[in-house]
């Protein structure tokens, strides 16, 4: 069976999932967490304590993975929405990306990023939006430097929220024909998206300074979605480092009048495993944190409309 590995880089912690594609579905063979920060936004990352801990984890895997997938923190990616316009040439796509970079990161230029574009389903007024996913090339290169001592090659970089979509689709097949919102709450950002019958209908990212504002932001996002992007939602799911029991309860209370179902997203719900009882118990408690990790090793179903350069290994 083919072995696959995902590494989910967050600002404070890094999560590792190794799995196999078994006849009955995704079979988790190994999980780990690196509690020392691994800051892929700086060249010094290869010398940090987290990098050494990651290398030890990678050299002690049960088997050598055939493919390695990663998700990156928001500070080395730009994900923005903009009105959809028909492009007649690659130069027009480059011009649009350049304008986005000038607006949001003027110290950077087009050559600093790999870029992919995804078209959303039409808004309620019929207008169309696209999502631009820009990944810093230097961050990808730094990750490869972390992998090389373990003899591993990066296969692909996946946007964290898109990996969460793949995890949701796999783990909740009974929701495949419904309209749902997904809140990714990690690294003091709330990424919000909507899947309507599996199609991407909305994306936004909002920073927050303190946890007390999370339920307010979620409420504002749902109100905006229902007013302009989707006539109704069947429910929403939350995942991420910052989703505590208290946060989940606060969001449930705040959105109870708007949505019939508000749940924690379980990234292991439909997987099988050979992990021991201690690790199984850990997975039960931390299932909402490993959502991007399980999603990254599942074939992605969002297909880019335009690609300047995929965020694959160097």
| Residue 135's pLDDT band (cuts 50, 70, 90) | very high
Angle at 101 between CA 132 and CA 126, to 5 degrees: 35
Structural domain contains residue 288: no
pLDDT, tens only, 8-22? 999 999 999 999 999
pLDDT, tens only, 236-293? 999 999 999 999 999 999 999 999 999 999 999 999 999 999 999 999 999 999 999 9
Structural domain contains residue 22: no
Mean pLDDT, residues 90-108 taken together:
81
| Residue 309's pLDDT band (cuts 50, 70, 90) | low
Structural domain contains residue 121: yes
Mean pLDDT, residues 180-206 taken together:
97
Structural domain contains residue 118: yes
Alpha-carbon Rg for the chain, nearest whole angstrom, is 19
Structural domain contains residue 87: yes
| Separation CA 182–CA 263 (nearest Å) | 10
pTM of the model: 0.94
Mean pLDDT, residues 186-206 taken together:
97
What's the pLDDT score for residue 87?
67
Structural domain contains residue 128: yes
What's the pLDDT score for residue 314?
40
Structural domain contains residue 110: yes
Mean predicted lDDT score pLDDT of the chain: 94
Q: Identify the weakest region by mean pLDDT among 24-28, 80-84, 122-126, 196-200.
A: 80-84
For residue 113, give its domain range: 74-133+303-307
What's the pLDDT score for residue 255?
98
What's the pLDDT score for residue 82?
86
Structural domain contains residue 280: no
What's the pLDDT score for residue 313?
46
Q: Identify the weakest region by mean pLDDT among 51-65, 77-91, 286-300.
A: 77-91
What 3 state SS string does the chain have? CCEEEEEEECCCCEEEEEEEEECCEEEEEEEEEECCCCCCCCHHHHHCHHHHHHHHHHHCCCCCCCEEEEECCHHHEEEEEEECCCCCCHHHHHHHHHHHHHHHCCCCCHHHEEEEEEECCCCCCCCCEEEEEEEEHHHHHHHHHHHHHHCCCCCEECCHHHHHHHHHHHHCHHHCCCEEEEEEEECCEEEEEEEECCEEEEEEEEECCCHHHHHHHHHHHHHHHHHHCCCCCCEEEEECCCCCHHHHHHHHHHHCCCCCCEEECCCCCCCEECCCHHHHHHHHHHCCCCHHHHHHCCCCCCCCCEECCCCECC
98-136 core/surface letters (b: 16 or more CB in 10 A; e: else): eebbeeeeeebebeebbbbbbbbbeeeeeeebbbbbbbb
Number of domains in the chain: 1
């Amino acid at each position: 069976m083919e072995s696959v590995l995902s590494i989910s880089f967050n600002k404070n912690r890094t999560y590792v999932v190794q799995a196999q594609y078994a006849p009955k579905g995704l079979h988790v063979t190994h999980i780990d967490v690196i509690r020392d920060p691994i800051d892929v936004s700086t060249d010094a990352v290869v010398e940090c304590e987290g990098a050494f801990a990651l290398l030890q984890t990678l050299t002690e895997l049960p088997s050598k993975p055939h493919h390695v997938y990663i998700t990156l923190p928001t500070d080395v990616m730009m994900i923005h929405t903009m009105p959809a316009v028909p492009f007649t040439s690659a130069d027009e796509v480059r011009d649009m990306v350049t304008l986005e970079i000038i607006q949001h990161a003027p110290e950077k230029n087009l050559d600093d990023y790999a870029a992919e574009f995804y078209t959303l389903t039409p808004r309620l007024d019929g207008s169309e939006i696209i999502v631009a996913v820009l990944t810093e090339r230097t961050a990808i290169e730094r990750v490869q430097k972390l992998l090389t001592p373990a003899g591993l090659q990066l296969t692909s970089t996946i946007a964290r929220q898109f990996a969460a979509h793949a995890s949701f689709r796999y783990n909740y097949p009974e929701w495949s024909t419904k309209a749902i919102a997904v809140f990714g709450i990690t690294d003091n950002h709330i990424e919000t998206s909507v899947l309507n019958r599996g199609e991407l209908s909305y994306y936004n990212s909002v920073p927050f300074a303190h946890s007390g504002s999370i339920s307010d932001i979620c409420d504002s996002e749902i109100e905006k979605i229902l007013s302009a992007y989707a006539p109704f939602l069947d429910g929403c799911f939350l995942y991420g480092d910052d989703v505590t029991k208290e946060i989940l309860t606060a969001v449930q209370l705040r959105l109870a009048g708007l949505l019939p179902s508000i749940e924690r997203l379980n990234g292991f719900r439909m997987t099988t495993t050979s992990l021991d009882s201690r690790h199984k118990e850990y997975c039960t408690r931390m299932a909402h944190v490993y959502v991007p990790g399980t999603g990254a090793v599942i074939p992605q179903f969002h297909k880019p409309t335009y690609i300047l350069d995929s965020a694959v290994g160097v």
